[in-house]
Structure 1
């Protein structure tokens, strides 16, 4: 069979013959407006306008697989359903009544729906052992349709990312610089240490970071100390200097260790060691003490790359940790790492900020993300095998949204691809 949401889909998009519609009591039905789809409690469609018989009706439409589902759901006892002007069902098995015992006109859709629509639906949802339901057919969707859908998916992804940022704005009393610091810290930790970095930044009062940002050794000491990475006995002048500075800051600002997520070094490439990433984060906020203001004013991606062109203190040019020495290297932020920061922090934050002040231009956001290379991961590789390739970070981000928010959740009826395949 099928689920009730398929009937919602058929009614919403009128995927049935609308000529000569009649109720189960043979009254003519003319659809003027099928109504607004309601995804919350209450009738399935609000504010519909229908001609039933010789009468114009305005009200709600309720949809069920069988007419008797009206009683299964207890609608006959609920006055909220008294404004139902049409009961749309697949199979009519019993007359239904409102709370006042008046009969509700019923339309049986199976008499008006084309067989092709049902066959396409069953073919899409009866897939067995497939990565996504449409994997054999997604390549057949028109380029224009798919391009527009991916753009919408990317904007949707930005909207979802805004939820965390909005929470941080509330907790920081709309301090955009503080939110940027927390979001960047999270992304500096990448997947393995992201939670630990975010915990470090979120537990640390940003006003203290701001006060120490003009002194690199103080800022380094603050971050390394709060990360509990200055507790060892290491006879190195740089390390001892950090310990002494942190001891002073700890006393001055009454700091305490609140970090509950440990930092991981195991199986990480040396360039991703938390010591290196913390050192880079410190240099970045030492070099740009109003980083968010600078980011907002920049419209060119190449200027963004220059913004993140930083050089570490001399100690870190020959070390990956406080104890392990390395060959001399600048350990600058790589272009691919900066791309991740732009994708996951800078562009989303800028999107939300411009939206909040009423100056959002979506085309500029889309143009910016198109200039970045796509991520490389298992999901993007699998779509590439299905002949849906990513030419930029816009496509890769959109495909991640598609897979995680639609394909996995079987939301094919809300997806442009699913709609095309069912309606073709």
Structure 2
């Protein structure tokens, strides 16, 4: 018996066993009218089942265990939540079980009723040491089945990612613009500099930039000053002016800069240096302050993308990756891949989160449409699924794949996965 209890849940739910001539452990005839509904919370495993034992029809709950004695190990004999169990389904029947009222609990033993082939299929999935359990079989699963389950995992992923958005929104008293601004800043830092970008955004709330929206120089001073990059001595005119401007603004708004040591430069392409990202972020604020409000109004994906393209980045950064470090030529615009990353991880997320928060399906649909229009992400995980024969057409599918891998494959939850269930059912 090399399988967990969840395997028996699958067997019972889909009646994947020989149910001809069923009998209880005491020899009474047994007929399954309805196996019930799988319960993933506390309590019996299946609710609202209906069975016929002898000449009597019973309606109630079903509990499933590998062995009858597991009932006692789990202390169900003293838990009134299990008093309405009408059938105990087990693989091995090793002890008679009685309810609290001392009545004997009917038992269905599944040993010798589950095909060896089905058990082998499950073991091949569950015991595999490959990157994901069904790596050898998923390419043969109907594309409709795969895409259908990826739709589910995509929604699961975005619902999970909505939780920190809601937390920050509550912290900011329902201010969507400021919440979006903080998450956008974090996104600009990618994984390496996400934290200092987030702290920098907290140091200078968005409403301060709004007061200087017609003065790009002051916005740049606020950005680089709050990020901690203007504490040095400079020879060049541009950083000297930024420093002078920030010294005034810092006192006016009581800004506490981020420790400059928090920013990471090592093992990064110069194009991704935080100084370049900050210059682009400042230009984005200059181009479109209160971004969330604008994004809510824009329905066209091309227009959304245009918000992050052709930014008015200061010409100083055409020849610098860092203050005091001259470069021959620098591409100061955000690359297409980075724009896609922002649209995926911030814009689509916030459209989804806003739709969920306000119970407005329109914005959820916009988020999904945006994901469908973005190219699929390419990384070690998506590459493995592609090699296994899965077609990943867009970001909607690649996000679904990432959730599938994390929440199902890594956790060996093949029996909760629509793809895994289909593989077990295949002849």
Q: Tell me if the contact between 2:271 and 2:331 (Cα under 8 Å) persists in the aligned partners.
A: no
TM-superposed CA distance for 1:142, in Å, is: 0.8
TM-superposed CA distance for 1:401, in Å, is: 1.6
Report the counterpart of residue 136 of structure 2 in structure 1. 136
Q: Tell me if the contact between 1:62 and 1:84 (Cα under 8 Å) persists in the aligned partners.
A: yes
**DSSP-derived class of the 2:193 partner:** helix
Q: What does 1:276-291 align with in structure 2 at a 5 Å threshold?
A: 276-291=276-291
The unaligned stretches of length 5 or more in structure 1 are none
**DSSP-derived class of the 1:101 partner:** coil
TM-superposed CA distance for 1:363, in Å, is: 5.4
Q: Tell me if the contact between 1:135 and 1:386 (Cα under 8 Å) persists in the aligned partners.
A: yes
Q: Tell me if the contact between 1:195 and 1:261 (Cα under 8 Å) persists in the aligned partners.
A: no
TM-superposed CA distance for 1:157, in Å, is: 1.8
Give the direction of change, closer, same or farther, for the CA distance of 1:3–1:259 in structure 2 (3 Å limit): farther
Report the counterpart of residue 233 of structure 2 in structure 1. 233
Q: What does 1:288-299 align with in structure 2 at a 5 Å threshold?
A: 288-299=288-299
Report the counterpart of residue 114 of structure 1 in structure 2. 115
2:93 maps to 1:92: yes
Q: TM-score, normalised by structure 1?
A: 0.93
**DSSP-derived class of the 1:59 partner:** strand
Report the counterpart of residue 30 of structure 2 in structure 1. 29
Report the counterpart of residue 4 of structure 2 in structure 1. 3
**DSSP-derived class of the 1:121 partner:** helix
For residue 414 of structure 2, the aligned residue among 412, 415, 424 is 412
Cα offsets for 1:286-330 (capped at 9, x unmatched): 211231122122222111121112120122222211111223555
Write the distance in 2 (CA, Å) between the matches of 1:296 and 1:259: 34
Note the aligned Cα RMSD (angstroms): 2.2
For residue 391 of structure 1, the aligned residue among 378, 393, 398 is 393
TM-superposed CA distance for 1:162, in Å, is: 0.9
**DSSP-derived class of the 1:96 partner:** coil
Write the distance in 1 (CA, Å) between the matches of 2:212 and 2:102: 74
Q: Tell me if the contact between 2:204 and 2:222 (Cα under 8 Å) persists in the aligned partners.
A: no
Q: Tell me if the contact between 2:203 and 2:256 (Cα under 8 Å) persists in the aligned partners.
A: no
Q: TM-score, normalised by structure 2?
A: 0.92
TM-superposed CA distance for 1:97, in Å, is: 0.9
**DSSP-derived class of the 2:375 partner:** coil
Report the counterpart of residue 256 of structure 1 in structure 2. 256
TM-superposed CA distance for 1:189, in Å, is: 0.8
Q: Greater CA deviation, 137-146 or 260-269?
A: 260-269
Write the distance in 2 (CA, Å) between the matches of 1:406 and 1:215: 50
Give the direction of change, closer, same or farther, for the CA distance of 1:88–1:220 in structure 2 (3 Å limit): same
Q: What does 1:197-346 align with in structure 2 at a 5 Å threshold?
A: 197-202=197-202, 204-257=204-257, 262-309=262-309, 310-329=311-330, 331-346=332-347
Q: Greater CA deviation, 131-140 or 220-229?
A: 220-229
Write the distance in 2 (CA, Å) between the matches of 1:188 and 1:66: 54
**DSSP-derived class of the 1:21 partner:** coil
2:379 maps to 1:382: no
**DSSP-derived class of the 1:110 partner:** coil
Q: Greater CA deviation, 272-281 or 31-40?
A: 31-40
Cα offsets for 1:240-270 (capped at 9, x unmatched): 2222222222222222246598111122112
Write the distance in 2 (CA, Å) between the matches of 1:61 and 1:151: 31
Q: Tell me if the contact between 1:311 and 1:331 (Cα under 8 Å) persists in the aligned partners.
A: no
Write the distance in 1 (CA, Å) between the matches of 2:167 and 2:225: 26
Write the distance in 2 (CA, Å) between the matches of 1:40 and 1:119: 28
TM-superposed CA distance for 1:422, in Å, is: 1.3
Q: Tell me if the contact between 1:35 and 1:49 (Cα under 8 Å) persists in the aligned partners.
A: yes
Report the counterpart of residue 353 of structure 1 in structure 2. 354
Give the direction of change, closer, same or farther, for the CA distance of 1:236–1:357 in structure 2 (3 Å limit): same
TM-superposed CA distance for 1:156, in Å, is: 2.0
**DSSP-derived class of the 2:320 partner:** coil
TM-superposed CA distance for 1:379, in Å, is: 1.4
Report the counterpart of residue 51 of structure 1 in structure 2. 52
Write the distance in 2 (CA, Å) between the matches of 1:182 and 1:99: 56
Q: Greater CA deviation, 249-258 or 188-197?
A: 249-258
The unaligned stretches of length 5 or more in structure 2 are none
Aligned length, in residue pairs: 423
Write the distance in 2 (CA, Å) between the matches of 1:31 and 1:260: 68
TM-superposed CA distance for 1:214, in Å, is: 4.4
Cα offsets for 1:343-399 (capped at 9, x unmatched): 111111111212333332555543322222222211122222222242322222222
Q: Greater CA deviation, 362-371 or 100-109?
A: 362-371
Give the direction of change, closer, same or farther, for the CA distance of 1:229–1:104 in structure 2 (3 Å limit): same
Report the counterpart of residue 187 of structure 1 in structure 2. 187
Q: Tell me if the contact between 2:162 and 2:349 (Cα under 8 Å) persists in the aligned partners.
A: yes
Q: Greater CA deviation, 229-238 or 46-55?
A: 46-55
Cα offsets for 1:96-123 (capped at 9, x unmatched): 0112221111111224333332121122
TM-superposed CA distance for 1:188, in Å, is: 0.8
Give the direction of change, closer, same or farther, for the CA distance of 1:200–1:47 in structure 2 (3 Å limit): farther
TM-superposed CA distance for 1:4, in Å, is: 0.8
